[in-house]
């Protein structure tokens, strides 16, 4: 049968299913909308309130803006838990992505309205939309390939390019539109991008008929549910007592917290207490020493994820404000929009992703340490080193009243290289260690850890108002480097606890990487 007469879902383009490119462009426009809006978020909140002026903002303090930024970016990831659960148990990934794209389009459209109610409402829709779309569209990419299809990794690489292309284009175009015409035109452009992504996705459904469909009864029965774990928790006196104490402390600490967000922290602490209960019950139900040892390593990898994103996400918060308020952005007589600096991360990923991958491949071929834990720890250290340039920027600002743009660019360069060492590796490593019967739940915990890291970033950013940027940037540099170094010192015992989870894969991976390197 020729390619022309093949069913739509079996057709290929450049050696990959056509459905991959449908999801590529859908995700590209979703990231265009998300990162375009993210680039403006803190800048808009802290801009002065000027009547009948397109550059009028909310006039919030830095503390207020970074607090909301932390809550927002945390909830975006935490909502991936119910988003993934609804898809796995009821909707299927395909329908969940459709719902997410619609919610995102509505959210960005509402953000284009110049009113405070529209701002909060729009953010709410975006949070719900990303929660439905983000965890499920990646699952669909994997579903395009059979289990042993060697094209799978390359397919994900192509998809990853779409994410960063969308981010890069958004920071440039949305940033300049907001700078010239006003904030809400920038928000509106982000919404138009998401609407285009929705149209692409709906048009491409015929290429996706075999993936992301509603789960069968057998699939629903294969995963352990939250209800089952909570039922087991109620029958475990020690674990139940621990969770009860944590919940009591959460209610007390959250609602006696002296600040405008006391209710939010109360809910957050309760959520973390319940997550702790789930994690304890999973550990209790594991079979044998191998599963339990791997689970311990998995928890340490979660700590690295929290530390990394808690530092890295200063990019959209504190560093975004620093670019706006304290950086000399004049270039050849023209002022570079602060939002443009958000494009540096995506641009550097596109430039250096292959180089970083080849570095680790060559290191592995030479028989040197190149395990996932090692890469993640190195990624945390490199990201931390990036903050030293922000310390230099702060010193320059203190002496001359402004700092040069190249300090921000150098910081984003190191942060990006750190991200390339940790981000693509951490999720894959997590799936290797997580017990198969708890995989769906553990993926939710992974995204929750990412969200918690984003909230930590907001809290750290808020502290700059009292401590000053120089101390915050210096503290992040010291903490990240020390934490990453500690993990490196523990690499050997941690590797033993994985019980060879990567040994067999390493052999296969090296063979693939030899071929990749030989092809240039």
pLDDT at 280: 86
Q: Is 16 helix (H, G, I), strand (E, B) or coil?
A: strand
The CA distance from 8 to 140, in Å, is 16
In this prediction the pTM is 0.83
| 170's tokens | 């958004």
Distance of CA 187 to the CA centre of its chain: 21
Close Cβ partners of 517 (under 8 Å, ≥ 6 residues apart) = 358, 361, 362, 365
| 220's tokens | 């629903």
pLDDT at 193: 87
- pLDDT tens, per residue, the chain with 520 residues: 444 566 666 676 767 888 889 998 998 888 888 888 888 888 888 887 755 555 677 888 888 888 888 889 889 888 888 888 888 778 888 999 999 999 999 998 898 888 889 999 999 999 999 889 888 887 788 788 876 666 776 777 788 777 888 888 888 888 888 888 888 888 888 888 889 989 999 999 888 888 878 877 766 666 666 677 777 877 888 888 988 888 888 888 777 767 667 777 778 888 888 888 888 888 888 888 888 999 999 999 999 999 999 999 888 888 988 998 899 988 888 888 888 888 888 899 888 888 888 888 888 888 888 888 999 999 999 999 999 999 999 999 999 988 999 999 999 999 999 999 998 788 778 777 888 777 767 777 888 888 889 888 888 888 888 888 899 999 999 999 999 999 999 999 998 888 887 765 444 444 344 333 333 3
Distance of CA 452 to the CA centre of its chain: 11
pLDDT at 234: 79
Helix axes 62-78, 318-326, angle to 10 degrees: 140
């Amino acid at each position: 049968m020729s390619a022309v007469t093949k069913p739509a879902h079996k057709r290929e383009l450049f050696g990959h299913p056509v459905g991959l490119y449908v999801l590529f462009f859908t995700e590209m426009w979703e990231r265009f909308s998300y990162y375009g809006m993210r680039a403006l978020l803190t800048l808009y909140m802290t801009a002065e309130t000027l009547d009948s002026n397109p550059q009028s903002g909310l006039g919030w303090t830095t503390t207020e803006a970074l607090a909301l930024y932390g809550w927002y970016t945390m909830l975006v990831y935490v909502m991936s838990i119910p988003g993934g659960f609804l898809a796995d148990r009821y909707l299927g990934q395909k329908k969940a992505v459709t719902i997410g794209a619609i919610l995102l389009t509505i959210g960005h459209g509402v953000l284009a309205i110049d009113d405070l109610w529209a701002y909060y409402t729009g953010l709410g829709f975006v949070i719900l939309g990303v929660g439905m779309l983000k965890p499920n569209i990646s699952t669909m990419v994997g579903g395009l390939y059979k289990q042993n299809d060697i094209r799978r990794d390359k397919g994900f690489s192509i998809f990853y390019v779409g994410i960063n292309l969308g981010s890069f284009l958004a920071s440039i175009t949305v940033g300049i539109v907001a700078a010239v015409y006003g904030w809400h035109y920038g928000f509106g452009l982000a919404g138009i991008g998401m609407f285009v992504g929705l149209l692409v996705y709906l048009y491409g459904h015929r290429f996706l008929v075999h993936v992301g469909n509603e789960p069968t009864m057998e699939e629903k029965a294969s995963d352990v549910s939250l209800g089952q774990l909570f039922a087991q928790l109620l029958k475990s006196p020690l674990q139940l007592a621990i969770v009860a104490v944590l919940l009591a402390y959460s209610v007390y600490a959250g609602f006696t917290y002296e600040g405008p967000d006391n209710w939010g922290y109360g809910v957050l602490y309760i959520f973390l207490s319940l997550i702790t209960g789930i994690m304890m019950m999973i550990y209790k139900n594991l079979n044998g020493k191998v599963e339990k040892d791997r689970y311990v390593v998995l928890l340490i990898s979660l700590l690295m994820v929290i530390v990394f994103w808690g530092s890295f996400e200063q990019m959209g918060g504190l560093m975004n404000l620093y670019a706006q308020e304290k950086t000399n952005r004049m270039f050849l007589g023209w002022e570079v929009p602060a939002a443009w600096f958000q494009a540096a991360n995506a641009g550097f990923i596109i430039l250096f992703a292959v180089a970083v991958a080849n570095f680790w491949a060559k290191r592995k071929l030479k028989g040197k340490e190149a395990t996932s834990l090692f890469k993640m720890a190195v990624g945390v250290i490199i990201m931390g080193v990036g903050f030293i340039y922000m310390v230099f920027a702060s010193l320059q600002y203190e002496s001359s009243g402004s700092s040069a743009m190249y300090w921000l660019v150098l910081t984003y360069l190191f942060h990006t290289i750190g991200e390339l060492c940790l981000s693509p590796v951490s999720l894959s490593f997590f799936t290797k260690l997580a017990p198969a019967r708890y995989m769906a739940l553990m993926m939710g915990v992974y995204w929750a850890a990412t969200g918690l890291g984003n909230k930590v970033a907001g809290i750290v950013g808020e502290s700059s108002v009292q401590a000053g940027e120089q101390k915050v940037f210096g503290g992040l540099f010291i903490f990240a480097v020390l934490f990453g170094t500690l993990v490196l010192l523990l690499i050997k015992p941690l590797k033993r606890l994985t019980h060879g989870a990567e040994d067999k894969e390493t052999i296969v991976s090296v063979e693939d990487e030899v071929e990749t390197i030989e092809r240039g």
